Structure 1
Amino acid sequence: MWYYLIKRLLVMIPTLLGVLTLTFLVTQFVPGGPVENMLAAIDGESARTGVEGGASGGGWSYSGRQGIDDQQIAHLTSLYGFDQPLWDRYIQMLGNFLVFDFGESYFRNESVWSLIQSKLGVSVSLGIWTFLLTYLVSVPLGVAKAVRAGSRFDFVTSLLVLTGYAVPGFVLGVLLIVLFGGGSFWDVFPLRGLTSDNWDDLSAWGKVTDYLWHVALPVTAAVVSSFALKTLLTKNTFLEEIRRQYVFTARAKGLSERRVLWKHVFRNALLPLVTGFPGTFIAAFFTGSLLIETLFSLDGLGLLSYESINSRDYPVVMGSLYLFTLIALMTKLVGDIAYVLIDPRIKFDAVEAR
């Protein structure tokens, strides 16, 4: 087991290196880099100033990119580090990332690590609730559907979860806003932030209820579409296990149906659910969070990454990607370890037959 863990940790190094290298090369050669963006911003500011000056002074003073001399362009190139050779920038980036130094944002005047920390709370809040509710609802529902397979309950719940799966999260979010966010019907839930402005003045219980009041709509929009896959997977896995011989033997010994299901069947049916654990965890935290955060005015990592890509803020892009990749690899490792905890018969290291 320890040999496997060490081997997996060592494999993470080339994986991270490959992701960083590929992303670095893309950011170096993609058109419209940070220098070009800053020059465009200067152009826009100069044009606006020229229009205002022309309106008040009776003349037109803006002359386009001609107003930006080569010295200013060289200064911007040096400011963003693009005056250094490509190889030197690459080695410097790897050295900094090794000690989790992601550098400074090009346009926000703040370190990348501080930016990620400030946005992490929103994504963690949405991710934890989405992840927990997915398993807390889908697993018991899947077991109930397996026990009542073919019944009206099975048909109705399948219809509901598949309908939720078919509706995109942002569409459901718009519907929730229209219904309960003061759109056209009831003004019940707030639509901005995770807490109210008077958060510091609330009691402990008041803070809990205020937080739950704010996250109710975004969590609902994010979690509904994730029920179907886990519910149907749980149902099918339980149906397969229920038909095995050891279940008939346990029932013949007089064990209660509840004990058979939750002590014997559940343990064996848990492996496929653990297999999907890493993917569900990562999806809950990062996949689809951009639309939900934008829709409900939540300033999280999804929105930060999107804005950084648009503005070519490469330190933020690289730092966020590095962190996401590391979390994904560690989560996959935790999922593999969970296999052994659930079923000790699983061995990672094959033994050669003699």
Structure 2
Amino acid sequence: MWSYILKRLLLMIPTLFGVLLLTFVVIQFVPGGPVEQYLAEARAGAGTGAEGGSVYRGAQGVDPQRLEQIKALYGFDKPAHERFFQMLGQFARFDLGTSFFQNKAVSQLIIEKLPVSVSLGLWTFLISYLVAVPLGVAKAVRAGSRFDLVTTLLVLVGYAIPGFVLGVALLVIFGGQLQWFPLRGLTSSNWEELSWGARIVDYLWHITLPVTAMVLGSFAVTAMLTKNSFLEEIRKQYVMTARAKGLSERQVLWKHVFRNALIPIVTGFPAAFIGAFFTGALLIETQFSLDGLGLLGYESVIRRDYPVVMGTLFLFTLIGLITKLVSDLCYVWVDPRVKFD
């Protein structure tokens, strides 16, 4: 086991290197970098002529010395390979760099956006698992019944509706027409002045609609996976043997079937749990005016804020690789028969 873990940890190094190298190379060929955007803004700036007319300062061009200063400011005065290895050195020290346009450390930006992402991801994760797993068990026990057919239809309909479409409907109906819920933000403007109880209520009041828009489609996969896993285990020989010994259906289900049926669900649990803290839902965040990681990533790509793009890519890739390793190790924890040889 320890040799397997060591091999996986060592394999993370070339994987990270490959991901960063590929993204860095693609970035070099994408037009409209930070220097070009600065120059475009300079050309778009209008001044007032001697006769009161409007003239464009950018039409006069940019002084070559000033252009070199701009390139040096963004680090583009160095060759691409030198900038790449300098970035790797920073990442090796877990220094994610500094944003070009927000003048903040990338790590600080991620921390600032985390409350929104944690709120959306963690609630979606908890509600999905707490509802979908019992629902899947109930569907497996009542397989083929009217309850199974109706819930399958409802779950698949919810899965088919895109989250942003449901978000628009929720905003129009419950936020606009009925005015039951706020239209924007994670908390009210006077949140600091409220008592702790009022703060909790205010927070839940704001988060209800966006979480509902995100969670509805996440029921289907977990619920159907749970149902199919239970059905597969229920049909096995050891279940028939347990029933023949006189055990009740509840004992058979929860003592014998439950552990084996949850193997595919438990192994995906670490990835889903860690992912809940770094969920970036661009459309949902935009619709409900929530400033989270999804909006940060989108704005960074649009503005060519390369330190934010590469820094978040490095961090999330590293977290994803570690989480995948933990998920694989959960196979051994759930099923001791699994060996990593």
Aligned twin of 2:103: 109
Aligned twin of 1:146: 140
2:16–2:314 contact (8 Å) kept in structure 1:
yes
Aligned twin of 1:216: 208
Aligned twin of 2:338: 346
Give the TM-score, by structure 1 length.
0.91
Q: CA deviation at 1:66?
A: 2.5
Flag the 1:282–1:165 CA change in 2: closer, same or farther, 3 A.
farther
Aligned twin of 2:230: 238
Residues 170-222 of structure 1, C-alpha deviations (whole Å, 9 max, x = no match): 000001111111x2x21111122222222223222222222211111111111
Flag the 1:146–1:282 CA change in 2: closer, same or farther, 3 A.
same
3-state secondary structure, aligned to 1:18: helix
3-state secondary structure, aligned to 1:173: helix
Q: CA deviation at 1:156?
A: 0.7
2:185–2:290 contact (8 Å) kept in structure 1:
yes
Task: Map 1:223-302; keep pairs closer than 5 Å.
Answer: 223-277=215-269, 280-281=272-273, 284=276, 289-302=281-294
Task: Map 1:23-42; keep pairs closer than 5 Å.
Answer: 23-42=23-42
Task: Map 1:103-182; keep pairs closer than 5 Å.
Answer: 103-181=97-175
Flag the 1:325–1:317 CA change in 2: closer, same or farther, 3 A.
same
Looking at structure 2, the residues matched to 147 and 77 of structure 1 have their Cα atoms a distance apart, in angstroms, of 66
Aligned twin of 1:352: none
Flag the 1:60–1:174 CA change in 2: closer, same or farther, 3 A.
closer
User: Which amino acid is the alignment partner of residue 213 of structure 2?
Assistant: A
Q: CA deviation at 1:339?
A: 1.2
Looking at structure 2, the residues matched to 139 and 169 of structure 1 have their Cα atoms a distance apart, in angstroms, of 21
Q: CA deviation at 1:278?
A: 5.5
Query: 78, 85, 100: which one pairs with 1:84?
Result: 78
Q: Which runs of 5+ in 2 are unaligned?
A: none
Looking at structure 1, the residues matched to 265 and 14 of structure 2 have their Cα atoms a distance apart, in angstroms, of 28
Cα RMSD over matched residues? Answer: 1.8
Flag the 1:348–1:284 CA change in 2: closer, same or farther, 3 A.
same
Looking at structure 2, the residues matched to 168 and 283 of structure 1 have their Cα atoms a distance apart, in angstroms, of 20
Equivalenced residues, count: 341
1:278–1:328 contact (8 Å) kept in structure 2:
no
Q: Which runs of 5+ in 1 are unaligned?
A: 350-354
User: Which amino acid is the alignment partner of residue 139 of structure 1?
Assistant: V
Moved over 6 A (4+): none
User: Which amino acid is the alignment partner of residue 240 of structure 1?
Assistant: E
Give the TM-score, by structure 2 length.
0.95
Residues 261-310 of structure 1, C-alpha deviations (whole Å, 9 max, x = no match): 12211111111213443664576556661111111111001100000000
Looking at structure 1, the residues matched to 52 and 74 of structure 2 have their Cα atoms a distance apart, in angstroms, of 38
3-state secondary structure, aligned to 1:61: strand
Identity of matched residues, %: 68
3-state secondary structure, aligned to 1:68: coil
Query: 322, 333, 337: which one pairs with 1:330?
Result: 322
User: Which amino acid is the alignment partner of residue 126 of structure 2?
Assistant: L
2:121–2:279 contact (8 Å) kept in structure 1:
no
Looking at structure 2, the residues matched to 323 and 187 of structure 1 have their Cα atoms a distance apart, in angstroms, of 40
Looking at structure 1, the residues matched to 164 and 279 of structure 2 have their Cα atoms a distance apart, in angstroms, of 12
Q: CA deviation at 1:57?
A: 4.3
Looking at structure 2, the residues matched to 82 and 340 of structure 1 have their Cα atoms a distance apart, in angstroms, of 48
Q: CA deviation at 1:328?
A: 1.0
Task: Map 1:185-196; keep pairs closer than 5 Å.
Answer: 185-196=177-188
